[in-house]
Chain A
Amino acid sequence: MAAINRDDVAHLARLAHIEMSDQELDRMAGELAVIVDSIKSVSEVASADVPATSHPIPLNNVLREDVVGHVFTAEQALSGAPDAEDGRFRVPAILEEES
């Protein structure tokens, strides 16, 4: 497995939508390299014949009657919003405007 470097961290931070300063990228790359190095041992024992477990207790799909259940009012749903208008969430532009 390849080691994690600063460029990887910068790319991952963009994917995760977290702005990071140069200083933060340097520090994060160093810390993550140590962590990744210590956890990559999992691949040593994960041979092809071992099935993966996604969930500790076997689960069945849960279904319910197709009737209206618990719902929030628009007021409740918007109560924690940083910005709202006319009963809706108000957000900045999705696309950058061409100037």
Chain B
Amino acid sequence: MSELIKHSAAQLADKLAGGEVSAVEVTQAHLDRIAAVDTDVHAFLHVNTDEALAVAADVDSRRARGEQLHRLAGVPIAVKDLIVTIGQPTTAGSKILEGWHSPYDATVVKKLRAAGMPILGKTNLDEFAMGSSTEHSAFGPTRNPWDLDRIPGGSGGGSAAAVAAFEAPLALGTDTGGSIRQPGAVTGTVGVKPTYGGVSRYGAIALASSLDQIGPVSRTVLDSALLHEVIGGHDPFDSTSLTDPSTGLVEAALTGNVQGMRIGVVKELGGEGYQAGVEARFHESLELLRAAGAEIVEVSCPSFNYALGAYYLIMPSEASSNLAKFDGVRYGLRVLPEDGPMTIERVMGATRAAGFGDEAKRRIILGTYALSAGYYDAYYGSAQKVRTLIQRDFDAAFAQADVLISPTAPTTAFRLGEKLDDPLAMYLNDVATIPANLAGVPGLSLPSGLADEDGLPAGVQLLAPARQDARLYRVGAVLEAMLEESWGGPILAKAPALERVDTVEGK
């Protein structure tokens, strides 16, 4: 195993700029790591070896010619397989898109290419990003690098596990209700959901359009800031894209200081249902922030108690509409009915029956129900009102605090299969991350430590007002530095080695 894979993206960027290593060496080291551990971890659905090495070689030759390159040029990255890429398949974790190749690149992928970042491959996810464990992938679950019998979170378990297992220094995720932040928490990595509209969604296969956001996945707060600045900014191809420039995030991470900041503990995001070890690590983070000069205040957001209900009405409603396009006509699978008349309607029914997994079907049916005549006002209409109440709670909370803080997920990683037959228990994993999506505010998760009862990572979540993403990095970097000092190094240094030690039996 090359020591190169242990470096952060920022460290790799410095070594590349200083000519200590080449982009080809860095990329090859990560491809070797993928070859060594991904049979066990299964973070990747596709490995993009040839193109990644070609991009790295191009960066090396441009650097040798003295060209001015982007700071992250030559730093490789993994991309969640919900984001379309030319030259690689995009499946969304679904049988209905198996083998499909997009004829265009997502805007964020274009930005990675422009920065000269080799794309290592596409990472696993719950089908169409519907899930909290990656177990709903049609291509088998990803495993948590901390314990291969446990879930890596979801839906972006592949991106989080790839980064946690040192298969990639950076990854892209998407977050509709916590799909970047919750996997970050349970794998001991960092993940950020930017302000709604802060990063273009053009080319991200839509789950719930009023909630979806693309964001960075990394091992350090600074690395997420570096990636966030690459992918952020206005895009005329996404009508919900904000016109604000994506700047000041790296500077915020580098000059972090919480002296005099008010940090609000959300009363409703803790207590019952939260694992003791998760809460213990959370309270230690609060003590560290207090010691660094922050003022810790308690805020109450009573409408958050209805956030999960509102989310599980709005998200399936929008998903049922967005997934109507998978009809066996323009792309993906087509399945013909076994008997009877061969009409398009029956072909659609057979195609969608065979192509969608159980969770996708559950959510399409639930969304169709919530949007039905006679139920619309009671369900979808009410959920949209709850959304207003949640926004008002955030407004009131941010009048008392500069950032809010909570545990990211109520528990550490659970065992594969443990919640697969109980959809409602699975949904409860997202209880602390969902409010940010409903209100469009940015959120960051970073590791808070290991829970005493199981030795598995827990996460702490920071939330900031819309368009104030820089505050997340400012506070996150300070907290990360203090935590790492208390641990004597990064949390992932405590993760088990994954490479199988080949022992040669004496003959």
Q: Are B103 and A42 closer than 8 Å at their CB atoms? A: no
Query: What residue in chain B is nearest A31 (Cβ atoms)?
Result: B423
In the complex, B472 has a CB within 8 A of chain A? no
A46, B310: Cα distance in complex, Å: 10
> In chain B, residues 456-493, which have Cβ atoms closer than 8 Å to a Cβ of chain A?
466
> A60 to chain B: closest CB distance in Å?
9
Contacts A18-B356, A50-B389 hold; do A55 and B378 have CB atoms under 8 A apart?
no
A93, B343: Cα distance in complex, Å: 5
Query: What residue in chain A is nearest B348 (Cβ atoms)?
Result: A17
In the complex, B100 has a CB within 8 A of chain A? yes
A83, B327: Cα distance in complex, Å: 12
In the complex, B272 has a CB within 8 A of chain A? no
| Residues of chain A with a CB closer than 8 A to B466's CB | 56-57
| Residues of chain A with a CB closer than 8 A to B312's CB | 35, 39
In the complex, B145 has a CB within 8 A of chain A? no
Query: What residue in chain A is nearest B209 (Cβ atoms)?
Result: A55
Question: What is the interface of chain B mostly: helix, strand, loop, or mixed?
Answer: helix
A29, B495: Cα distance in complex, Å: 42
Contacts A12-B365, A42-B383 hold; do A35 and B423 have CB atoms under 8 A apart?
yes
> In chain A, residues 4-55, which have Cβ atoms closer than 8 Å to a Cβ of chain B?
4, 8-9, 12-20, 24, 28, 31-32, 34-36, 38-47, 50-55
| Residues of chain A with a CB closer than 8 A to B195's CB | 57
Size of interface on B: residues with Cβ below 8 Å to A = 77
Q: Are A54 and B103 closer than 8 Å at their CB atoms? A: no
Q: Are A19 and B196 closer than 8 Å at their CB atoms? A: no
A89, B384: Cα distance in complex, Å: 38
> A7 to chain B: closest CB distance in Å?
12
A52, B386: Cα distance in complex, Å: 8
In the complex, B141 has a CB within 8 A of chain A? no
In the complex, B368 has a CB within 8 A of chain A? yes
Contacts A12-B372, A39-B309, A72-B103 hold; do A57 and B242 have CB atoms under 8 A apart?
yes
> A3 to chain B: closest CB distance in Å?
11
By a beta-carbon cutoff of 8 Å, the part of chain A in contact with chain B is: 1, 4, 8-9, 12-20, 24, 28, 31-32, 34-36, 38-47, 50-57, 59, 62, 64, 70, 72, 76-77, 79-83, 89, 91-97
Given contacts A17-B327, A42-B310, 16 further A-B contacts (CB under 8 A): A9-B365, A16-B364, A16-B368, A19-B352, A35-B423, A38-B308, A39-B310, A45-B303, A54-B384, A56-B210, A79-B103, A80-B330, A82-B333, A83-B334, A89-B329, A91-B329
